[in-house]
Structure 1
Amino acid sequence: MRKDMVVFDIKTLGLESNYEEISEFTALRICNGEIKETCRFLMRSEGEIDTMESIINFIDDAILVGYEISLSFLESQVNFRFQQPLWDTLDLVRVFFPTLHHYQLTFLAERLSLPLKNEEIRYPSEEKVWLIWELFKVCWKKGLEFDLSFFDQAKGFLEGWALKSFIEELQKEMVKSFPHRPIRTDLVLMPSGEGLFQRARISSIAIPESIDWVIDNFSPGGNLERNLGSYESRPGQIKMAKLVAEGLSSSHHVVIEAGTGTGKSFAYLIPSLWFAKITSQTVVVATHTIPLQEQLIKNDIPILQSVLPFSFRASVLKGRNNYCCLKKWQSCLVNREISHGEQLAVLGILVWLRETLTGDIQELSKFPGLTEVWSRICADNDTCIPGKCSKAGVCFLLRARKRAEESDVLIVNHSLLFSDLKTDYNVLPEHHQLVIDEAHQIYQTALQHLGSELSAENVTRIVETIYRPSGVNFYSTIKHQIGSLAHRVPSVSWELVGERLELLPEICRSILIQTRELFELLSRIIGSGRTFRFIIHHKESPWWNGLYVQIENLVGRIDLLIKSFENLNSSFNGEDAEEIEELRYIINGHQKELQTFIDTLIQAVNIENPKQVTWLEQAARLYIKTSPIEVSDVLKAKIFSRLDSVILTSATLSISNSFAYFLKDIGLANETMTAQVDSPFDYEQQMHFIVAKKGINSLGSDEEKSLELSEFIAEVAERMNGRTLVLFTAHNLLRQTYAALHPLLARIGMDTLAQGIQGDRSRLIEAFRRNPRSVLLGANSFWEGIDIPGDALLCVIMVKLPFWPPTLPLIEARSDYLKSQGRDPFHELLLPEAVIRFKQGFGRLIRSKVDRGVVILLDNRVIDKYYGRYFLNSLPIKTHIRGEKSLVFRKIEEYTRELELELL
């Protein structure tokens, strides 16, 4: 590029953005791609006019390049308005590398192998500017590799965006440097390769039908030990593999609690692959979390493909809304109805579709605007007919289903498993064997997927896709196309279609009005609370009749819209032209969405059913939710009675060595085969478990608790040099503790990372791994699924025993149901759930044989209350230390000294 550029960074003083001032300005001036000049200014006093003028003169008329810097902030500091654009390399790298997931500059330098100019760099600020320049060059270079159609497609989404001039300059360079590069007019996608599967290896041996072959793989000197340098034979893994193989081959269900480090994924994958190959049947493996799903398909399966003596096929299938619909995407490229905040997402997807083989959203980083754009381009229409779609040949969903049908082992998540149940087994390929990993979550997942929810925003979004006064919608699109459709399909009475189409706007307007009125009433009912459960006594309340009438009216208006679509569909009777099939497909999709609204609303006022609960929930928006309160009968009928063999496994299924609660909860007989496989880790040697005698329960308000807690965490963190994870049971206490803790840790040079404040879970965990001198605060989702092995994590603090609040609508309803049967909800619901979550939280510390550290519990109920033994007896460690905080600190100091001696 011929234009001069100034790559710069500014260091600021001040904690609040409104009061920040530049303390250091560092920049490079680039001419013809080479560094022409450098500058670095330190601001030592307010209003240094000479320095400000020097900065302005250095920048002059060059294009500005920075990393996550506001141009308006720079202008306010130097009191000058720049006319040239600012190209933010954070936005550039998100567009050109949309699958990196983390965009901290140091991470990008490592991941993209940015060269360091160590010999000339004297200050950290100079190194940062150098990295920004190298990052810019990487993005520029990648942009030059694209076909010219990329620029034509991107142009429609650049208006009003700072990077518009960058894309224009890049296109000029492309045309100049590569004048003969062809222009593609259709979708530009990554070639799918040789086929759906890699070329199969030829099996070196016939597959033995004896279970002994499965066990021999894991034995000392066996296949795994011979071919994997780091593998060690483990008795627990051998035991589990044998149980899985016997369950599959003998057609019975097995429940296995496998402690951390057992190697349970290999222990069920190898028997599953063996069984699939000798029977030619697909074995489905269901996980709860995406990280485990990714681990299986990206790590474990490739290893097994390299060491097992036979070839096999394994794939992942996800829910429809995980895949990009290319037909919808093409419509998005044509219509270009996006907001300013969605431009980044559209350009990132434009790049990603040139590189992806799966079309799976999980590959994409969670950049701004993605959620909104994805809702319009995902393949979430259940009435889609891929065989009649013009994009069937390249459809990502169709590819994934094809791979699934031809797989020996198919990996799905719990959600898709229940989607299969809800659609009468129309989602997954036929199978008779199922492995459920992370099985402690199966009950909660069943509750979620067998229930429903509705918000005003959801109704509005769907109705406005049918009709809205401006923008692209079903009504305007069909009305616009009637002339051309009449020419192509003259056998249809398009005049009648037009008449029926004109009924839609008024019905849609009436639905939106009625929806607004209903949710205004619901808002008054819930008031300032977070939740409100509907119970049978509410039928006597003065607002109930009004609610019933509002719901009845809304159901009637939605039903009228469904009938209008039925009439539209009847206009096409006997016609099978491609254009008509596409219209039917769209209409059927809208009808199905509208019917789910009706089903939820009818269920909401049916509060006589003791096995059903309805409640209001208020967070960013207000929802009306329904759920069954018991799913054991459903699980028994639709999974355990239907399938030949189900293997359920997790690290946390038993309570005080008993599986009775878990079996009863999910509808399995007490006679079901169960087993505990102990962890190979030496917990007594690798860790200390400390219970603080005087926790925070004795304190009154959350404010008092947060102050006390923040001081305690700071004391622990200083002794542990950070490396501490704190698990909360309430977000409010977490936020208040963060506010008090952050300044305490800042004084000793430590970072405080908090869920809901700095970002999502994956981003926080990555930041914690990259800077262990920090403290990470997390609530519910942090109690499980977090894997931070090594010295990055040395201490886990559990603030309270993780009992669910008894006032949560679903918990309250389940408790009432148990009481109505003469049963004890504390012992049959609250306590077992808390013990399972407690075991999960405890398990965050020790993830490998070399891990070590301390787990601290600040809830003395575990030693003061009779039920404390259930928690303690469920842990893999048999000894613990109990004492007041002074003892806790002393034990930590002793432990850290032991660690230091080990390292000498």
Structure 2
Amino acid sequence: MTKFAVVDLETTGQNPTKGDQIIEVGIVVVADGIVKQQYGTYVKPNQEIPLFISHLTGITDDQVTTAPSFSEIAPDIIELCSDAYFVAHHVQFDLGFLNEALMDAGFSPINEKVIDTVEFARIMAPRATGYKLSQLAEYFGIQHQRPHRALSDAYVTAEVLLKLLDKARKLPEETLEKLLNLEAKLNSDFYTLFRKWVENKRYVLEEENHHIEVYRGLALKKQKKPGREEHEWNPSFGEFLDEVFDSDGKLKEAMDQYESRPGQKEMAEMLFDSFQREKHALIEAETGTGKTLAYLLPSLFMALQNDERVVISTYTTHLQAQLLEQEIPLLEKIIPVSFDALIVKGKSHYLSLKKFEQELEKSPWDDNYDVILTKALLLVWITETDTGDVDELHLPSSGQIFWRRISAEAERTLDPKSPWFSRTYYQRIRRRAQKAHLIITNHALLCTDIVHDYEFLPEYQYAVIDEGHHLERTASRHFGMHVDYVSIQYLLNELEEILEDSDSIQLITESKEHADYLFRYFFDLVQQQRKQTSYNDIGRIQSLFQRTELKEDTFNYLKDLASRFVFSLKDILVKLDKQKQVSHEAYNDEEKEDEVKRKMEQIETLIMNLNLFLYDDETSMVKWIEIEAKGARNAVYLYCEPIDVGSLLKEKFYEEKTSVVLTSATLTIKNSFNYILERNGLNRNDVVTKKFPSPFSYKEQVQLLIPNDLPQINKDKEEDFLSAISYNIYELAKITNGRMLVLFTSYQMLKKTHELLKGFFDQDDFMIISQGISSGSRSRLQKNFQSFDKAILLGTSSFWEGIDIPGEDLSSVVIVRLPFEPPNHPVYSARAEALKEEGENPFMKLALPNAVIRFKQGFGRLIRSSKDRGIVFVCDGRLMKAKYGKYFIESIPQASFLYNDAQTLLDHAREWFS
């Protein structure tokens, strides 16, 4: 019988060596797959419990006054944990803390085998949404009654452990064998358990695992063969829409809480008509229109009835997943015939089984912990994934670097003779895509496909571009180029593994030094031009690069540094070419030859991009440098983009395709589509346009409040302005109980406001979550924001859109400044200069339309359903005082708005919410 003692502690702090103490112990003993015993007690510490800990756990000084001391309960703990695996969620913390307490009390430390359920879950549940105890409980459908209480947490940890043990026990023998090879470098003691299960599988006849195939020693999930089924289904599109949208139609049948959306059916008809008439279209569908279903229905109908493939492109991979997980299953309920909708991403998203096999053959002792953990979780993941897509996973930090070595991007085009060809995930997706009705991709891959003459996506003539206001910006990046120091160092480090002779290693070392000198000089150039620089949304400093503006001796020195680096790269190319010949002639080593060819291509691209950046004086391109404000002196990024991407999109996309529909909630400015038409190179006479207003009642649901007495940032000090808005954020947060999103145009302003707000709030008042300061991705910060009762979320540009916080989780949006790009932003300044030369007004043609679209996005964060209500508080008086303010107000849905002093507005807000 294997015994597990699952332990959780509540403590006064994180560090027992600095006097922090245990205030509660929970232990759950598990054996034979069931809970055998539970033990829980308060513990009396020799200090007061900090307010934060009481707030988190609910444990107060009064509750522990009469509790036993740790010395009194220590024998019970030792007995419960003896001859058992010591299990905890973050086992090093609980075991370390407990052993410090035991030794302080004169007892021997616990020295049993350990299992960390965080590590165990990362391996056995690689597709979990997260690895906090609450997230795992939700993932496994376990009720968590009292989070942050020792016995409750221990009990939930025990239930999670049982789920993980059950899954591990059922893994294929081949997977367990490979996990055993990695076990020594994991934190948990899995060896005895895994070895026992392997032996059982060898000598006990188990039921055959029909969904698994074993190939070259790897256990993989079997894949269904792609293929379209024949179908008989021939209604007209009008009949089909009537069946779907009638008051007792299929949509109402399929949805639990169906709401009729005005405009949804009309939008679907318009989109289908554009396809039929072979016209491009721009459709603005404001929040609540139901645009996703409105474009999916005609797209799928077109694909099924006309045997045409339709491409759906979204801006983010997150929205791709949402389409596949939420909207496509709904369509499957509505449409009576089978269809295939498929997400297609770039090669870097997919696992290369060939590369993974090669990495598994290497000694685990050469890898760090994160890489070992990544290998382990991938072994489990390939027994359950259909896609091989890394977006299903949460890789540890070094694991993300390791992924670059094992993604499909790391291999050149796989030879059809390769043993892995028929099973590789990327090729499988490509084969499925050839037969799919709907291809769901993102703007990045769509633009990569356009730039590379359509070699990545299967042939198509019809496309819907969701969040179409982003297409031109994404295309601009892909028609340009990007070089950065970190990627160069990564490439040179990889070369060290291929070129192993001492001469080559010396050459690579010299190349690294030349890169270092070159990129440090780029860094110094930006520092010297600080008056002409701007900050991007993640705090990098940006500076326009114009060769003709540099002093002659400055450019000559830069050219000299670049030449030395490029010559060293060319010397490496010569070495690689020799290595390729040797691999081919002496060893017939296709693997090595293939790897060398790929590295040669990467070096050639790098040389070409550096030459383009430094020497190409093409006036149609804008070049700029970015540096990390507080980063290393070689943390430098070089960019180059076309000034006018519209003409390129027209030639290479719109003129190539039969019908492209751009849709978004933000395509118009004062009800005009002219700006988006121009940015996309489209002619007004050749495009169908239509705006579908939101069905929500903004006058009843939204109060737009604009204070008239805040300091003017252009006349007063920025500090005065930030102090005033911080005070108003604090006062408004008290009225709305937090639940506030604050949108900035400047990362520097965000940081300063974060510091000011901390001075206003008591520790237990509000949780302040700030982009770039609080750790985590945008989605992680959003989840953290929604998990607290009283929280304020501060964000910059990426938070102006794509954040969807429905219902009572969000009650107010504060817009600190109208979202104009800084006039010295490199791309803006280059485009503005081009417009001036054409006799146009850059402010009216470029700056204002950009700002209005971004403002509409920020405003749209607040109301996501007909039941939402709240306040938009705009701290920028230009909205009312400037002549152009009407462009902003007339471009958003008509809300009730009030322009008055801040105190009057706060009083109004208090009354409105009450």
Matching residue of 1:293 = 320
Matching residue of 1:487 = none
Q: Where in structure 2 are the equivalents of 1:116-515 lying within 5 Å? A: 124-163=149-188, 165-172=189-196, 175=199, 179-180=203-204, 186-196=216-226, 200=229, 202-203=231-232, 205-208=233-236, 213-214=240-241, 217-218=244-245, 220=247, 222-225=249-252, 228=255, 230-335=257-362, 336=364, 337-381=366-410, 383-467=412-496, 473-476=497-500, 504-515=504-515
Q: For 2:203 and 2:552, locate their aligned partners in 1 and report how far apart those are by CA, in whole Å.
A: 76
The match for 1:608 among 609, 617, 626 is: 617
* Aligned partners of 1:383 and 1:585 also within 8 Å: yes
Find the residue that maps to 2:176 and give its secondary structure: helix
* Aligned amino acid, residue 318 of structure 1: K
Find the residue that maps to 2:165 and give its secondary structure: helix
Q: For 1:168 and 1:184, locate their aligned partners in 2 and report how far apart those are by CA, in whole Å.
A: 24
Find the residue that maps to 2:416 and give its secondary structure: helix
Cα distance, 1:865 vs. partner? 1.0
Structure-2 change in CA distance of 1:213 and 1:604 (3 Å): same
Q: Where in structure 2 are the equivalents of 1:496-575 lying within 5 Å? A: 504-527=504-527, 530-569=541-580
Structure-2 change in CA distance of 1:568 and 1:770 (3 Å): same
CA displacement, residues 717-757 of structure 1 (integer Å, 9 cap, x when unaligned): 22212222121222232233333434654545432222221
Matching residue of 2:849 = 832
Q: For 2:375 and 2:419, locate their aligned partners in 1 and report how far apart those are by CA, in whole Å.
A: 22
Cα distance, 1:616 vs. partner? 1.9
Matching residue of 1:617 = 626
* Aligned amino acid, residue 21 of structure 1: D
* Aligned partners of 1:261 and 1:847 also within 8 Å: yes
Matching residue of 1:108 = 136
Q: For 1:140 and 1:746, locate their aligned partners in 2 and report how far apart those are by CA, in whole Å.
A: 44
Q: For 1:55 and 1:732, locate their aligned partners in 2 and report how far apart those are by CA, in whole Å.
A: 52
Moved more, 797-806 or 85-94: 85-94
Structure 2, unpaired ranges of 5+: 50-64, 207-212, 531-540
Structure-2 change in CA distance of 1:74 and 1:122 (3 Å): closer
Structure 1, unpaired ranges of 5+: 468-472, 477-500, 898-904
Cα distance, 1:579 vs. partner? 5.0
Q: For 2:19 and 2:703, locate their aligned partners in 1 and report how far apart those are by CA, in whole Å.
A: 44
Find the residue that maps to 1:691 and give its secondary structure: strand
Structure-2 change in CA distance of 1:505 and 1:174 (3 Å): closer
Find the residue that maps to 1:775 and give its secondary structure: strand
* Aligned partners of 2:30 and 2:37 also within 8 Å: yes
* Aligned partners of 1:345 and 1:368 also within 8 Å: no
* Aligned partners of 1:798 and 1:856 also within 8 Å: yes
Q: For 1:460 and 1:45, locate their aligned partners in 2 and report how far apart those are by CA, in whole Å.
A: 51
Structure-2 change in CA distance of 1:276 and 1:800 (3 Å): same
Moved more, 452-461 or 708-717: 708-717
Find the residue that maps to 2:662 and give its secondary structure: strand
TM-score of the superposed pair, with normalisation by structure 2: 0.87
Q: For 1:174 and 1:736, locate their aligned partners in 2 and report how far apart those are by CA, in whole Å.
A: 57
1:694 aligns with 2:709: yes
Find the residue that maps to 2:432 and give its secondary structure: helix
Matching residue of 2:731 = 715
Structure-2 change in CA distance of 1:314 and 1:20 (3 Å): farther
Q: Where in structure 2 are the equivalents of 1:560-599 lying within 5 Å? A: 560-569=571-580, 579=588, 581-599=590-608
CA displacement, residues 460-504 of structure 1 (integer Å, 9 cap, x when unaligned): 21122222xxxxx2235xxxxxxxxxxxxxxxxxxxxxxxx8864
* Aligned partners of 2:28 and 2:151 also within 8 Å: no
Cα distance, 1:394 vs. partner? 1.4
* Aligned amino acid, residue 438 of structure 1: E
Matching residue of 1:643 = 657
Structure-2 change in CA distance of 1:128 and 1:714 (3 Å): farther
Cα distance, 1:678 vs. partner? 0.9
Q: For 1:351 and 1:559, locate their aligned partners in 2 and report how far apart those are by CA, in whole Å.
A: 42
The match for 2:812 among 795, 798, 802 is: 795
* Aligned amino acid, residue 551 of structure 1: A
CA displacement, residues 362-382 of structure 1 (integer Å, 9 cap, x when unaligned): 111244433112111111147
* Aligned partners of 1:344 and 1:369 also within 8 Å: no
* Aligned partners of 1:818 and 1:825 also within 8 Å: yes
* Aligned amino acid, residue 303 of structure 1: L
Structure-2 change in CA distance of 1:342 and 1:566 (3 Å): closer
Q: For 2:477 and 2:242, locate their aligned partners in 1 and report how far apart those are by CA, in whole Å.
A: 38
Q: For 1:123 and 1:564, locate their aligned partners in 2 and report how far apart those are by CA, in whole Å.
A: 59
The match for 2:802 among 785, 788, 791 is: 785
CA displacement, residues 408-466 of structure 1 (integer Å, 9 cap, x when unaligned): 11111001111112221110111111111100111111122222222222112112222
Same amino acid, percent of matched pairs = 29
* Aligned partners of 1:388 and 1:578 also within 8 Å: no
* Aligned partners of 1:385 and 1:585 also within 8 Å: no
* Aligned amino acid, residue 707 of structure 2: A
Matching residue of 1:21 = 20
* Aligned partners of 1:115 and 1:134 also within 8 Å: no
Find the residue that maps to 2:803 and give its secondary structure: coil
Q: For 2:726 and 2:102, locate their aligned partners in 1 and report how far apart those are by CA, in whole Å.
A: 39
Cα distance, 1:97 vs. partner? 1.3
Moved more, 316-325 or 2-11: 2-11
Q: For 1:18 and 1:694, locate their aligned partners in 2 and report how far apart those are by CA, in whole Å.
A: 53
* Aligned partners of 2:311 and 2:463 also within 8 Å: yes
* Aligned amino acid, residue 422 of structure 1: V
Q: For 1:807 and 1:20, locate their aligned partners in 2 and report how far apart those are by CA, in whole Å.
A: 53
* Aligned amino acid, residue 224 of structure 1: L
Cα distance, 1:19 vs. partner? 6.4
CA displacement, residues 262-305 of structure 1 (integer Å, 9 cap, x when unaligned): 11112111111222223212111111012221121121112112
Cα distance, 1:826 vs. partner? 1.6
Find the residue that maps to 2:553 and give its secondary structure: coil
CA displacement, residues 684-708 of structure 1 (integer Å, 9 cap, x when unaligned): 1222111122346448566555544
Cα distance, 1:167 vs. partner? 4.6
Q: For 2:262 and 2:445, locate their aligned partners in 1 and report how far apart those are by CA, in whole Å.
A: 33
Q: For 1:837 and 1:721, locate their aligned partners in 2 and report how far apart those are by CA, in whole Å.
A: 27
* Aligned partners of 2:669 and 2:849 also within 8 Å: yes
* Aligned partners of 1:341 and 1:369 also within 8 Å: yes
Matching residue of 1:678 = 693
TM-score of the superposed pair, with normalisation by structure 1: 0.88
* Aligned amino acid, residue 513 of structure 2: I
CA displacement, residues 101-153 of structure 1 (integer Å, 9 cap, x when unaligned): 2233223223312256x7xx899333223222222232222222223333332
